[in-house]
Amino acid sequence: MSIVENICKIKTQLPKNATLIAVSKTRKVEEIREAYNEGMRDFGENKVQELVEKVDCFDSSVRWHLIGHLQTNKVKYIVGKVHLIHSLDSIKLLKEIEKRYGASNLVAKVLVQINIGKEESKTGIFKEQLNDILEACENCNNVKVKGLMAVIPKGSEEECKKYFREMKDIWEKTKRKEYKNISMDYLSMGMTHDYKIALNEGSNMVRIGEGIFGERDYNKA
């Protein structure tokens, strides 16, 4: 199916409160523009350099999401360019975001990334570290936590449900607490192959790349 057909199909499956992010990493500007012309405004990028290059190709109505690992030395390049950082995964990174956004008198909106499966190959904090990073966020003036993000381990449908339910439980428990700089607006989980399960288990933000743009050719990328 075409990009337009894929978007239309996915949108019919989304609850009203769910946000669809088109993961545009490695995609050409022409492909992204096709999605844009179909009404998409939320696009996700993994790498800072690629995101920055694409920002200037679109108007300010586009909301860019940084969904990949963010190195501290790259924070300075995204200030004022990113709608939501999905990958806050350390207090060191938090301090750098606070510093860089503070220097520009701007506020960064972030999600705390949880490595729910404790996989060595993935970034993100362990769930046991969540309170520490949230306490550090409470001392910030230029960072607002807007929710949680996770990339779950690959597995069966039942295994997927287990991790999604665990994330939803953490999100709900955090939501019930009172904070100054923290609100659990978003639970970002679910990608092309598991987004339907994620939505059924409480996700309200899904990140879909191949399901919209088709399979990637990493050799060309």
Is residue 23 assigned to a domain? yes
Q: Whole domain around residue 131: which residue ranges?
A: 3-211
CA distances from 26 to 42, 111, 126, 194, 210 (A): 16, 23, 29, 21, 11
Is residue 217 assigned to a domain? no
The span from the CA of 196 to the CA of 156, in Å, is 14
pLDDT in tens, 45-94: 999 999 999 999 999 999 999 999 999 999 999 999 999 999 999 999 99
Is residue 220 assigned to a domain? no
Q: Is 22 helix (H, G, I), strand (E, B) or coil?
A: strand
The span from the CA of 2 to the CA of 34, in Å, is 10
* Distance between start and end Cα atoms, the chain: 21
Is residue 20 assigned to a domain? yes
One digit per residue, pLDDT tens: the chain, 221 residues? 899 999 999 999 999 999 999 999 999 999 999 999 999 999 999 999 999 999 999 999 999 999 999 999 999 999 999 999 999 999 999 999 999 999 999 999 999 999 999 999 999 999 999 999 999 999 999 999 999 999 999 999 999 999 999 999 999 999 999 999 999 999 999 999 999 999 999 999 999 999 999 987 655 54
Nearest CA to 25 out of 58, 68, 57 is that of 68
The span from the CA of 176 to the CA of 16, in Å, is 23
Is residue 117 assigned to a domain? yes
pTM (two decimals): 0.95
Structure tokens given for 215: 């399979």
In total, how many domains does the chain have?
1
Predicted pLDDT of residue 103: 98
**CATH number of the domain that 195 lies in?**
3.20.20.10
